[in-house]
Structure 1
Amino acid sequence: MKYMVTSMRKPWIIPNNTALWPNTRRLKSGYWLPNPRNLSFAEAASLPVAIGTAYEGLQQCEFTAGQSILVLGGAGGVGSMVIQLAKHVFGASRVVATASTGKLELLRNLGADLAVDYTKENFEDLPEKFDVVYDCVGQCERAVKAMKEGGKVVIVIGAVTVPAFVFIVTSNGADLEKLNPYLESGKVKAVIDLNSIYPFSQTLEGLAYVDTGRVAGKVVIYPIQQDN
């Protein structure tokens, strides 16, 4: 049986900002959950942190069916999950998301009703305002201008401007079990950047690609040979 990790700590950090990435790790049984039947190891590995962050942020802001949401950075790991969860799990009335020109079609395929090209248009100038703005790119000061009166802004990265809020992700197996039917039915999909599954020997190349800021979805590094 395949298993997916429900929670993982950051890589070990030693002086001079050097990180250690072990190729094996011992974890308590509570950190594991059976894979959704239709997911590969790589797809499963890409999900827990991203989908956990997306899900908990929507819960923390008390997002409910019928509300509208603007997702900043909709093509990223967390943003791609927010779009899908808001649309297919929480029942959003309208999902708008931002990305660069080449990633707009991905946003539409994930469920966005409107894909905004941030290289050509300022999202805060849109004629509509939103119940929730989910900021995955660190644009809080601009994000608050796009919300409705009484709305909320969820911040994943960057400084926080009131009334936005920040939260600590406490994702666990219970959340993933709750979302499992959506994953197995295909309503919510893992989003992995095209050709971005790296063997452990190419970890540095994978991290360098992440640093380019051009990633769509997640980059996966696997320590053992994949067997899908």
Structure 2
Amino acid sequence: MKAWRYSEYGGVEVLKLESDVEVPEIKDDQVLIKVVAAALNPIDYKRRLGLFKATDAPLPTVPGFDAAGVVVKVGSKVKHVKEGDEVYGDIIEKAIDGPKQLGSLAEYTAVEEKLLALKPKNLDFVQAASIPLAIETAHEGLLTAGFSEGQSILVLGGAGGVGSFVIQLAKHVFGASKIAATSSTAKLELLKSLGADLAIDYTKENFDDLPQKFDLVYDAVGQFDRAVKTVKEGGRVIDISVSATSPAFKFVLTSNGEFLKKLNSYLESGKVKPLLDPKGPFPFDKVNEAFAYLETNRAIGKVVIYPIP
């Protein structure tokens, strides 16, 4: 099959499109997916740079956590998914602790059934591929931080893949009393459309000078030193920038298809919507260009690869 792969750690230049990668064999609890669309995440390039070298799978690596596609084969212990089902998920259970070698940037990928959910009926494969890792990180982070109805939240990086879902979930699923979020000037209206009550232009004002303090600061950009100044006494700062060394509450996602199943109703009702970068989707032969763009930190929402041949 065709797949993107790297055999050494480094920048975008180590990524190679190869056409002779073996289609993975599935285990009893896995399904084989024909990948239709896949999304890129910052953790993909941090892994490629070697930041998790000590716990990574052996090289060579096919990158990619997010996938949406069609089931073409099922293992003997698979119970709830069948051939022909349209599914999506974050296909790597432990993001930095022994992640699998064969990710989603390939024609086929093998995935444990427990990491998958049926694709929301109202979304296409591109939209579905953009969701899993970001929405699960947003949801599990809010849960783990003990966020609850009536509390206030400040989201640092509200226009990114995770931040855009934190705003929507805080509003529609958790019942936040007030949502503030930061972005650059051009993205302020987007933050409001997602559900933010207060959109803060970080290029013109310092969010840490706000008179109001928040029950939770969800830091998706790695600014703990400033975030801690905006949290109430007894509140929490949650930090998902896995390479940072801040003393904030650290959180790295464990992928779980049950989260996706629970959130599908919000996606199918349209209350929660995926946010796609307008430059995408990128075709499969331009994965290296898509990564180069993602690594500028200027993307809005998610960068998706489609179609995958």
Q: Same fold (TM over 0.5)?
A: yes
- State the partner residue of 2:131: 47
Q: What is the CA-CA distance between 1:160 and the residue it aligns to?
A: 4.5
Q: Is the 8 A contact 2:130 2:274 kept in 1?
A: yes
Native 8 Å contact 2:134 2:161 kept in 1: yes
Would the alpha carbon gap of residues 140 and 123 (structure 1) be closer, same or farther in structure 2, given more than 3 Å must change?
A: same
Distance 2:140 2:252 in 1: 9
The Cα offsets for residues 87-121 of structure 1, whole Å up to 9 and x where unpaired, read as 11000000000000001111000000010000000
Counting matched residue pairs gives: 219
Aligned partner of 1:159: which letter? A
Instruction: Please say which structure displays the higher CA radius of gyration.
Output: 2
Compute the displacement of 1:7 (Å).
Answer: 3.1
| Contact 1:4–1:45 under 8 Å retained in 2 | yes
Q: Which aligned segments of 4 or more residues in structure 1 are displaced greater than 4 angstroms?
A: 9-13
Q: Show the counterpart of 1:125.
A: 209
Structure 2 unaligned residues grouped into runs of 5+: 1-84
In structure 2, what residue type is equivalent to 1:197? P
State the AA in 1 paired with 2:302.
K
Q: Secondary structure at the match of 1:26?
A: strand
| TM-score, length of structure 1 as denominator length | 0.90
Q: Which moved more, 1:87-96 or 1:4-13?
A: 4-13
CA distance in structure 2 between the partners assigned to 1:221 and 1:137 by the alignment = 23
Is the Cα–Cα contact under 8 Å of residues 23 and 223 in structure 1 kept in the other structure? Answer: no
Gap runs ≥5 in structure 1: 14-18
Q: Is the 8 A contact 2:117 2:258 kept in 1?
A: no
Deviation at 1:123, TM superposition (A): 0.3
Aligned CA distance change for structure 1 residues 188 and 65 (closer, same or farther; 3 Å): same
Identity of aligned residues (%): 56
- The CA RMSD measured in Å over matched residues stands at 1.9
Aligned mate of 2:288, from 188, 192, 204:
204
Q: Is the 8 A contact 1:74 1:97 kept in 2?
A: yes
Please tell me the residue identity of whatever aligns with 2:266.
Y
Looking at secondary structure, tell me which structure has more helix per residue: 1
Aligned to 1:16: none
Deviation at 1:218, TM superposition (A): 0.3
Separation of aligned partners in 2, 1:38 and 1:178: 16
Q: Does 1:80 align with 2:164?
A: yes
- Does 2:244 align with 1:159? yes
Match of 1:3 in 2: 87
SS of the aligned residue for 1:190 comes to: coil
Length-normalised TM-score, structure 2 = 0.67
Say yes or no: does 1:108 pair with 2:192. Answer: yes
C-alpha spacing 1:28/1:161, structure 2 compared with 1 (3 Å): closer
CA distance in 2, matches of 1:32, 1:179: 13
Per-residue deviation, 1:161: 3.7
Q: Does 2:278 match 1:194? A: yes
